Structure 1
Amino acid sequence: MIKLLSPENWKDYELLDSGNFEKLERFGSQVLIRPEPQAVWDKSLAAEEWAARAQAIFRKEKNDPEKGKWILKKGCREQWQIGYSYKKMNLKLRLGLTSFRHIGVFPEQGDNWDFIYDRISAMKTNRPKVLNLFAYTGGASLAACAAGAEVVHVDSVKPVITWARENMELSGLDGIRWVVEDALKFVKREVRRGNSYQGIILDPPAYGRGADGEKWVLEEHINEMIKQCSELLDEHENFLIMSLYSMGFSSLIGENLIRSAFGNRETLESGELFLADNFGKKLPLGTVLRF
């Protein structure tokens, strides 16, 4: 089933406008302009209004499109906090202006955080185990922890793990296990050990490097990763979420991967994550598969 999934519980985030390969966003009290390769349409607001509203603008380097620098107005903070609430879940996230244009949160993932919280809350298993792979700054880990799960958070970048731990402490949570390692290597070892999890979350990049320089290429490794995860997922109570951000990957590819490894799941949802700006334009931000 193909559908659109957009988060509804953000008070501290707003996509003000999008277009001309950029997006104008409000994160709490600060408004930013960031590049957005899929915003191929025209902006709704005038360029002068974008410039007047924004407190920081990201500009890409000519020689390296993945890196760049922020142009800050007076009074703009390089680090600040926002919140996210759903039912009894109240998360706090520290944001920061990085040289890779990311700031520590992907707002479109809010819908998945709600899904995680609801699935864990409904489980009969006492203290379900959840594995979060390519876990970044930990929004999904925090959602699972807030719902009462025992969480293993895996990422290959140590500073990102430190950032995630800070978010856990800001949110008044505790008990997440932090693992700095290549995700595929960790999963293979868990399979050999005979471990299992009630929930698995995957948010793999298109390209990446493991903690020891291992090379990750989405189209080359995702099939093996999914098959390994099928060995780890508990047979009785379980959920799985896989987000794919590569522009060439449709949700149909994800469906084929999931059904090949896990069989036909009646509860499988497949769709497109998006954020709608204040003028109704829907900005696609990857595909998601979950059951």
Structure 2
Amino acid sequence: MLLLEPQHWTDYELIDSGNYEKLERFGKYVLARPEPQAVWQKTLSEDEWKTMADAVFRREKGKSSQDGNERGEWIQKKGMPDQWFINYDYKEMHLKFRLGLTSFKHVGIFPEQAENWNFIYDTIKSFTVSEPKVLNLFAYTGGASIAAKSAGADVTHVDSVKQVITWSRENMEASNLDNIRWIVEDALKFCRREVKRGKKYNGIILDPPAYGRGPDGERWILEENIAELMSICRELLESENSFLILNLYSMGFSSVIAENLIKSYFPAIKSYQYGELLIPEKSGKRLPLSIYARFKNSKD
């Protein structure tokens, strides 16, 4: 089991966490927002948090949703914009993200996923096929998609929310990339059709939520649907020059579950990684934010 911490961020840092909140810097702006896994005490004082934060997310009572997103509003200091950009650089990969203050506490990026972006970039670069095909499911604002595109992949990006697809396109264009294939559809329905079409991919990235809805009201429940999705991905993934990444954000799941899913649906894979994605903070604490399992079949 591996505990992965991002090493290449300059435009992001976790300043402090505790009391179910986290204090983060995105570029030159500092945000305070809820974090259900930060069950310990804060290192900094409440006055220090108040002084440092350019925007604070306040929950609205009775506004939590089935998918675990918390509804609320941002309280912004004067001069704090609703949208801004940050950069992420790794080797020859130069990504740019448009961030924004949403009513669900999210800002358009999950910084801990940078370790997976690096893995995607390095793995694609190691392949012996030109323009490998990569499928990104539940793709949100497209960090993994533009990482794959930056490495030279032919990328298909699937998400059920049209506005999120638009946001992803902004990130692609800001990163001076183009020609990602955008699909607004339920991920499971799309994958079933791809199998019938006989399609194959060199890389598959899965970032399924605990709960979700497709554009036509299709219901996604992680515990009920993940087995079928993994089975379908086994049919879609090439046997060579290939990789798969599974991210799970459900607090009820452990990294061993992610490992067992790989063992069950990809039994031929003998070398893989699984564990947690963490963000370290200055005090020495580490905030766990996601579990993952991943593998690759390449010549390195």
Question: Structure 1 length normalisation: TM-score?
Answer: 0.99
Which residue identity does 1:16 align to in structure 2? I
Match of 2:166 among 118, 142, 162: 162
The SS at the match of 1:280 is coil
Does residue 3 of structure 1 match 2:7? no
Aligned position for 2:243: 239
Deviates more, 1:60-69 or 1:26-35: 60-69
Match of 1:69 among 73, 77, 81: 73
CA RMSD after TM alignment: 0.6
Match of 1:272 among 271, 276, 284: 276
Does residue 288 of structure 1 match 2:277? no
Q: Distance in 2 between matches of 1:107 and 1:236?
A: 30
Question: Displacement, 1:254?
Answer: 1.2
Question: Over residues 178-211 of structure 1, what are the superposed CA-to-partner deviations in whole Å (9 max), with x where a residue is unaligned?
Answer: 0000000000000010000000000000000001
The SS at the match of 2:61 is coil
Aligned position for 2:143: 139
Q: Could you tell me which runs of 5 or more consecutive residues in structure 2 were left unpaired when the two chains were aligned.
A: 65-69, 296-300
Identity of aligned residues (%): 63
Q: Distance in 1 between matches of 2:207 and 2:6?
A: 17
The SS at the match of 1:255 is helix
Which residue identity does 2:7 align to in structure 1? E
Q: Distance in 1 between matches of 2:22 and 2:292?
A: 22
Q: Distance in 1 between matches of 2:31 and 2:105?
A: 10
Question: Displacement, 1:257?
Answer: 1.2
Structural mapping, 1:112-261, within 5 Å? 112-261=116-265
The SS at the match of 1:62 is strand
Which residue identity does 2:258 align to in structure 1? G
Which residue identity does 1:242 align to in structure 2? L
Does residue 56 of structure 1 match 2:55? yes
Question: Over residues 215-261 of structure 1, what are the superposed CA-to-partner deviations in whole Å (9 max), with x where a residue is unaligned?
Answer: 00000100110000000000121100000000011111111111111
Deviates more, 1:156-165 or 1:270-279: 270-279
Structural mapping, 1:26-105, within 5 Å? 26-65=25-64, 66-105=70-109
Number of residues paired by the alignment?
290
Q: Distance in 1 between matches of 2:52 and 2:94?
A: 28
Which residue identity does 1:67 align to in structure 2? R
Question: Over residues 123-142 of structure 1, what are the superposed CA-to-partner deviations in whole Å (9 max), with x where a residue is unaligned?
Answer: 00110000000000000000
The SS at the match of 2:25 is strand
Q: Distance in 2 between matches of 1:25 and 1:257?
A: 33
Aligned position for 2:11: 12
Deviates more, 1:247-256 or 1:197-206: 247-256
Q: Distance in 2 between matches of 1:137 and 1:3?
A: 26
The SS at the match of 1:231 is helix
Question: Displacement, 1:267?
Answer: 2.1
Q: Give the ranges of 4+ consecutive aligned residues of structure 1 lying more than 2 Å apart after TM superposition.
A: none
The SS at the match of 1:9 is coil
